[in-house]
Amino acid sequence: MKKYFIVDAFTQQPFGGNPAGVVLLGQDGLFPTDELMQQVAAELRYSETAFVRQDSPTEFTVRYFTPAGEVDLCGHATIATYGVLLQQGIVPAAAVCINHTLAGDLEMAVDEIVMMQMAPPRAIDKPMDIPRLHHIMGAESIYPWPELPVDIISTGLPDIIMPVDSVEALNSLRPDMDALAALSRELAVVGVHAVALTDDGYTGHVRNFAPLYGVPEESATGTANAALTHYLHRHCLISAPGECRFMQGEAMGRPSVVTTILDGKGSISVGGQSRIIAKGDLLV
C-alpha cells in the first residue's frame, strides 16, 4: 500500500511555505510506471510530487514529477520528503541520509530543520538577450537596475538569476508566462529566480517563475536559492563560510523562509522546516 502526504515545506505554519506531494512506496519498493506517477502528480496538482523508495535505513531513491513532467531534483519536495520520513519515525532525529536522485547523490541532515547538500554549483555561460528577458518579465519600467549581471547558475537544476533593485520592483514583476516558457526552453533552464537584496533580517526577498514546468510562480524553491547563494558568493556579495536566509512566497500569500549554508570550500546546503497537513492511502 502506498501512502501519500501533503506537506508544506519551508514553514511550520499550515498553508504557508511551498506545498508538495510525497508518496511513500509500498513494501515491494517498486516505482510505479512513469505514466502513473505523472497522473498522480497531475491529480495532486502541486508543483512537485516526490515518489520515495527506501533502499536502506538511511538511503532513499526519490523521483520528482511536476504536473507537466519529471524533473531531476526539487528542493522543497526533498525537504518535505525528509520531514515526512522523520515525523513518521522512518528515520531518527539527527540522522544523516543519502538521497539518490537523477541529479546525483545528495547528503541530507535530518532534524527539526532538514538540510540538503546540493550538487556542486556551476555557472552556465550562454548568451542572453537581457532587454528581451526584461520585456518577458514585465520589468521594462523598473528603474534603477542594480549593477549586477544576469547569470545562469545550477546546483542540480539551472535557473536564470535576475537581480532587481528593490522589494517594490520585485513585487511589480508580471511575466508573460508563454514567452518565459519559450525562453526557458531555448536556454534549457527551469525558469527565472528574481532577487532583491535587503538588510531587513533576510539576505534577500525572492520570486521564482517556472511556467515551462507548469509552475507560474513558486512560493519556496530550494535549488534556486542554493543557486542564488553561489551567485552572491561568485560576485563577492557574501563570504564563505556563511549563511543566508531568503524570504519567498510573499506575493502568493505563502511566506516561506529558506536557509542556505555556504561552507569554506564553496559547497552549499539548503533547508528549512516542514508541516504535514494531510495524509492517506493511494489506491492505484
DSSP 199-237: -SSSSEEEEEEEGGGTEEEES--HHHHHHHHHHHHHTTS
**Cell representation of residue 127:** 548568451
Catalytic residue among 43, 48, 112, 217: 48
Q: Does the annotation count 250 as an active-site position?
A: no
Beta-bridge partner residues of 161? 151, 193
Under 8 Å between Cβ of 218 and 184 = no
Instruction: Taking each helix axis as running N to C, give the angle between helix 222-234 and helix 75-87, from 0 to 180 degrees, rounded to the nearest 10.
Output: 120
Active site residue ranges: 48
